[in-house]
Structure 1
């Protein structure tokens, strides 16, 4: 199944499913000495990470009326403030009159089961109606249902058509998903057509697309290879807390790949991912503490993270030997510290 990205309300972070995603166990090793930065330029500014628009803000009904806000936006305002039954009551008559924004809102309420029982069939009915009326967000959501066969008969061709329409209307998550559909349909040639959609979604702040674009630039797939540009997009995805990007960007910073080496900053990105319970990041952090790269050498922390990494699936003979070389009191303290660890 292709790695789909859904709306922010129930976002499923997805590594691109087109065969470029790194095997985490095979991420590059950490450099043992600081590399020479060379002539690579520094990282650019971070792009903003906006949420997908689902309404015009939390306007109350009186304010909305005073500003001539469309009735469907009043329903959205209630929805955004958590008044789901009020939103439902406001949207239903509008939806029955053919308002696609209200129909899409009803679809989301029924799909997520907000103040009403979940009803994917009813959600699909409203999404379909709004999608056929040309409403991009409904096209996107209905396309997801068609791709997955949720409450509707699976129809990949129709899903692709709907996703394309939503993407061409400029909906960022539709752009990212449509790019993946292009690559899935044509692994040999789909990248070149997909790049513009990945880029547009990345520029809109979709972390999955930022990471995808970084991968494309890092290997020269669909674009000219450019590790400086790859690092720039990795940074954006990492700052958006995309786990794999945090790990990879941290390693690029330490190794000086695509730009100047910044070991202390690389350490911070890896530590952040490790604290979430990522086994690869925990392994790398153990090495950094052990070798004093990007941080002050700390035997106790190195031993703790070595244990954590091993427990969550990343065995490492080097770290095993390191742990065995500690005295019994150090081993005991590390085990106790690892036992207290809880992913955050």
Structure 2
């Protein structure tokens, strides 16, 4: 089994001769990425409803945004007289560095209105997090919806595809919880659609992790621990720390059709602990500490040897 230790941290897109990196938020901050509940728990079945890289149809078609009769989310800021989206993005970088949040958002609004995908995604993140602006989940939802509606057929593996996949994941979180006081109501079936499309067509680890959670909890789909383990494994192999922790826990405990394999379970927990953000993902540290304290000395030694072997292999692959 080949294991990647790199966690997808952001999206890189080119602006003329200048590169701009916008880091994707850690999974512990995303909606729907809550610490998993304790679960019971290696040959795992392939997902029955679509393979990674194949388009997964969305229930009811691909339209995601609200119907035209739905309430408007906001009044857009006046668009500054930029000459192009590239010019606006240069202004965004300048104003962001200078601490001018109003100017930075106005510049992003202009670039987004010209169809700039990364600007649309950044605005969704800005309004979802309240980064220099009041939190506006409905406005964020509508930006993510526009991205998903217009770009669902992006070729997987490209930088644009990673942006679109993250928009689908964000929409899945909104559909799980709904947005109070708006037309966006909790809808587990639609949440499943969003996570499944990101997970299966784009192979996105956040989508795979969230889809695994839905299968574990029986939310939006029939409860299926074996399917959950399969999706967790796919995300874990891409370096997704929460998925590594959950998959490791599944292998430690076994049951519900998932074979028990304590050494591999400890290995995945150790890899998860290594990549975890202790501030936002303290539950991973706690789970790792508890599992290693309860394990036999022989199992701990064997698991750590596997971790070291993966680390050596990873360093060799990067050369």
TM-score normalised by structure 2 residue count: 0.60
2:36 to 16, 19, 22: 22
TM-score normalised by structure 1 residue count: 0.56
Shift of 1:47: 6.3
**Residues 84-123 of structure 1 mapped to structure 2, 5 A cutoff:** 96-97=82-83, 99-100=84-85, 103-104=88-89, 106-107=91-92, 109-110=93-94, 116-123=97-104
Aligned partners of 2:36 and 2:246 also within 8 Å: no
Corresponding residue of 1:320? none
Instruction: Tell me whether 143-152 or 189-198 shows the greater mean CA deviation.
Output: 143-152
Aligned partners of 2:208 and 2:232 also within 8 Å: yes
1:149 to 127, 130, 143: 130
Corresponding residue of 2:295? 288
1:176 paired to 2:169: yes
CA distance in 1, matches of 2:303, 2:209: 31
The Cα offsets for residues 74-101 of structure 1, whole Å up to 9 and x where unpaired, read as xxxxxxxxxxxxxxxxxxxxx932x335
Q: Which runs of 5+ in 2 are unaligned?
A: 1-7, 12-21, 54-80, 153-163, 279-284, 305-319
1:240 paired to 2:238: yes
CA distance in 1, matches of 2:136, 2:31: 19
The Cα offsets for residues 200-241 of structure 1, whole Å up to 9 and x where unpaired, read as 222324332221100101122101222222111111222233
Kindly tell me: are residues 20 and 224 of structure 1, through their superposed partners in 2, closer, same or farther at Cα, counting changes over 3 Å? farther
1:11 paired to 2:4: no
Kindly tell me: are residues 274 and 101 of structure 1, through their superposed partners in 2, closer, same or farther at Cα, counting changes over 3 Å? same
Shift of 1:154: 4.0
Corresponding residue of 1:253? 251
The alignment covers a number of residue pairs equal to 232
CA distance in 1, matches of 2:236, 2:261: 15
The Cα offsets for residues 17-68 of structure 1, whole Å up to 9 and x where unpaired, read as 4496424xx455x6xxxxxx7x964799x969xxxxxxxxxxxxxxxxxxxx
Bigger Rg over Cα:
1
Kindly tell me: are residues 12 and 147 of structure 1, through their superposed partners in 2, closer, same or farther at Cα, counting changes over 3 Å? closer
1:202 paired to 2:199: yes
**Residues 311-330 of structure 1 mapped to structure 2, 5 A cutoff:** none
Q: Which runs of 5+ in 1 are unaligned?
A: 31-36, 49-94, 299-344
More helix by share: 1
Instruction: Quote the RMSD (CA, aligned, Å).
Output: 3.7
CA distance in 2, matches of 1:153, 1:219: 33
Higher RCO structure (Cα 8 Å, ≥6 apart): 2
The Cα offsets for residues 110-169 of structure 1, whole Å up to 9 and x where unpaired, read as 47x5xx545433321121012223333222211222233334444333332222101223
Aligned partners of 1:265 and 1:294 also within 8 Å: no
**Residues 35-54 of structure 1 mapped to structure 2, 5 A cutoff:** 41=45
1:135 paired to 2:128: no
Three-state SS of the structure 2 residue aligned to 1:96 is coil
